[in-house]
Amino acid sequence: MEQAFVIYRLPSFSRNLRNEINKGRKIYFFDNGIRNSIINNFSPLNLRTDKGALWENILMSERLKKISYGQLYCNRYFWRTRQQQEIDYIEDYDGVLHAFKYKYSPELRSKLPLTFSKAYPQHSFSVIDLTDYEGFVMR
């Protein structure tokens, strides 16, 4: 499915800290319609229980387009610990980690996990919510 551009996999980021998960992968769809078809859920957004997953998938697809169209060269990852601390998306370029946390609701507060900030002090961090969608895609 990956070779047919239906899905793409995002590997985990790890620099061998004991509590980091280093063998996982996250799977995203290039098209949320295919995702919805596979799980057989075409309900309106206000009735969906997977709004966060849909939002994350949309942002990942748009970010991949931005990287491709802009001919940006970076390594892409997600990060998770055994204690379930997570960063949804990391870009590694110019020797700096650029970390992103996606959330559907702008009311929810998100911050960089302390474990990550201690282990990787040279980074930038952005929380991307529904109101930031255009800025994330266009920058």
**Closest to 58 measured CA to CA, from 98, 24, 103:** 103
pTM of the model: 0.80
| Eight-state DSSP code of residue 31 | -
Which of the pair, 127 or 48, is modelled with greater confidence?
Answer: 48
pLDDT tens by residue, 72-123: 899 999 998 888 888 899 988 888 888 888 877 766 667 778 888 888 877 7
Percent of the chain exceeding pLDDT 90 equals 29
Asked which of 1-5, 25-29, 112-116, 119-123 is least confident by mean pLDDT, the reply is: 119-123
**How many Cβ atoms sit within 10 Å of the Cβ of residue 55?**
21
Alpha helix (H) ranges present in 40-123? 51-69, 114-119
